Amino acid sequence: MPQYSDKTLRIMAACSSLVFRCRWHARLLEPSETLRQQGTTRCHPQRAGVVPGGLTPASVSPEVPERFGSGCRLLNELDRLRVYVASGLLLALAMLAPLSLQAQPDSKDRADRVRAAIGSLRFVAYTPTDLSIVSGRVHAASRERIRKDLTLLRKDFQGLITYSCADGLEEVPDIANALGYRAVILGIWDPLSKREIDNVKRLVNAYPQLILGVSVGNETLLAKRQQWPVLRSSIQHLRAALPGVAITTSEPFYYYLNDDPPGFLAVQDFLLPGVHPLFQPWFDRATTAQAVDFVVRVAGLLSAKTDKPVLIKETGLPSGPPGSRFTPAAQAEFWVSLLQRLPPAPGLGFAYFEAFDHDWKEENARHEFGSHPEEGYWGLYTADGKPKEAVKELRKRWHREIAAPRKAGGSAS
C-alpha cells in the first residue's frame, strides 16, 4: 500500500468525509421508490430525521408540497455535484501518490542512499581531539578544534561517523558541510537524552543532503547502559520524526548474526556493527593476516544475513602502547590488507576506526570493560594530528582508487 504524507492523508480524509456526507444526503433526498415509479421527483426526507423547513417526519405525508419537492431537487443536484468534485479530487490525490512518496521515503529509499554511499565514500569514526571524559566529567569539544580536525581529515575522507550529538559534536555537520564532506552519520550516545535527540532533529532538517543516517547508541546493550525496549523505542521515535533518514544502532557483530534480542535486525535501516578481532579469545595466538581474515568472514556472514547495507563501524588494530604486541607497523599491515581483501562495494564496506588517539579512553573503558591500555591508541593519527604509518601506506592505495575514476572520466572528490 502506498505510504502517503501526513498532509495528503488529511486532505484525503476530508474528501472521503465529504463524499460520504454528500452521498448520504443525496440518498435521503432521492424520491421514494413508490414516487419514482409514479414518475414524480418528490423527495423522501424522513430517513434523515430532519426535513426541509423544520418539519418533523410525522408531519410529512407522501404528498409533499411542490415547494419542498423543488427544493429537494436543487439540493440533490448540488450534492451530486459535490460528490463528483470530491471524488475527482480523491482520484487525483491517489494518482499523485508517487509525489507523496518522494516526500516520505520508505525504508528501501533510505537503505539505497546508504548503500550507494558505502560503495563510493571513505568513512572515518570521529571524536574531536579536545573532547575528553574523565571520571565522568566531560570537557566539551570546541568549534575551533573541530574545524582543525576536520580540515586535516578531509584530505583522506569524505564521510564521518560520530558518537554523540552534544558537548560540541552538534557543531560537526555545519563545519563538515562547509569543508565539503559528502556524508555524516550522526551518533546519539544516550538514547534517552532529549538534548541529543533534539539536536539530531534540528541538524537533519538543516542538512538533509549531508546527513546520511543516525546511530542511536554505541554498544549500549553490550555495556548494559539501557535495555533493548528502551533502545528500540528511541529508534522508532526517531524514525517517525525523521522519515527521510536511515536510523540504526551499533553493537558487536554477534548481536546481528544471532538477531538477538528478537527484532534487533528488523528495526534498523542499515547495519553498523563493530567487528574487533582483538576481543576474540583466540586473538593472542593469531597473526595480523588471521585477524583480517576474521573480519572479512564476518562481513560476509553479515551480508548474507540480511539485504540491508552493512558498514562495519569499528574494526582494526591499535598502534600501542609501546612495548606491547601492538605496533604502528602491525596496524598499517592490518588496514592495507583489509582494504585489499574487502574493497568498498555498494552495500558492504567498513569505516576506519578511528581518526585520532585519545589517551583518556583507557580510563573511560576500564569502568565498563576492564583494563585495556590499548584503548588510547586506535587512531590513524596521533592526538596532535600526525599521520601514522597506516595512513601513509593507505594513501598509496587510495591514490590508485582516485586515479582509476579519473582515467575513466569520473569524479574524484
Query: Is 1 inside any structural domain?
Result: no
Residue 361 reports pLDDT greater than 60: yes
Mean pLDDT across 162-184? 98
Query: Is 12 inside any structural domain?
Result: yes
Q: In terms of domains, do 276 and 219 share one? A: yes
Residues ≥6 apart with Cβ < 8 Å to 32? 42, 44, 62
**Dihedral, 281, 282, 284, 287 alpha carbons, nearest 10:** -150
| Lowest model confidence (mean pLDDT) among 50-54, 124-128, 174-178 | 50-54
Query: Is 351 inside any structural domain?
Result: yes
Which residue, of 67, 86, 102, is where some domain finishes?
Answer: 102
Q: What is the pLDDT of residues 16-30, one digit of tens each?
A: 433 333 333 333 333
Q: In terms of domains, do 96 and 223 share one? A: no
Q: In terms of domains, do 80 and 59 share one? A: yes
Mean pLDDT across 381-395? 98
Count of structural domains within the chain: 2
Q: In terms of domains, do 151 and 79 share one? A: no
User: Facing residues of 67 across strands?
Assistant: none
Q: In terms of domains, do 327 and 395 share one? A: yes
Mean pLDDT across 306-321? 98
Q: In terms of domains, do 134 and 98 share one? A: no
Alpha-carbon span 409 to 370, nearest angstrom: 51
Q: In terms of domains, do 79 and 174 share one? A: no
Alpha-carbon span 196 to 165, nearest angstrom: 5
Q: In terms of domains, do 124 and 75 share one? A: no
Alpha-carbon span 293 to 197, nearest angstrom: 37
Q: In terms of domains, do 60 and 195 share one? A: no
Mean pLDDT of the chain: 80
Q: In terms of domains, do 114 and 87 share one? A: no
Between the CA of residue 182 and those of 75, 159, 178, 186, 254, what are the distances in Å?
60, 6, 10, 13, 30
> How many CB atoms neighbour CB 209 within 10 A?
9
Nine-digit cell at 300? 560476509
Query: Is 412 inside any structural domain?
Result: no
Query: Is 188 inside any structural domain?
Result: yes
Mean pLDDT across 396-413? 66
pTM of the model: 0.74
Which residue, of 71, 102, 133, is where some domain finishes?
Answer: 102
Residue 315 reports pLDDT greater than 70: yes
The confidence score (pLDDT) of residue 104 equals 52
Q: What is the pLDDT of residues 54-107, one digit of tens each?
A: 333 333 333 333 322 333 333 344 344 443 444 444 344 344 444 333 445 678
Q: Which residue has the higher pLDDT, 325 or 12?
A: 325
Which residue, of 66, 85, 102, is where some domain finishes?
Answer: 102
Residue 385 reports pLDDT greater than 90: yes
For the chain, percent of residues with pLDDT exceeding 70: 72
The pLDDT confidence band at residue 38, using thresholds 50, 70 and 90, is very low
CATH number at 376 reads 3.20.20.80
Domain that holds residue 58: 6-102
The pLDDT confidence band at residue 362, using thresholds 50, 70 and 90, is confident
Query: Is 298 inside any structural domain?
Result: yes
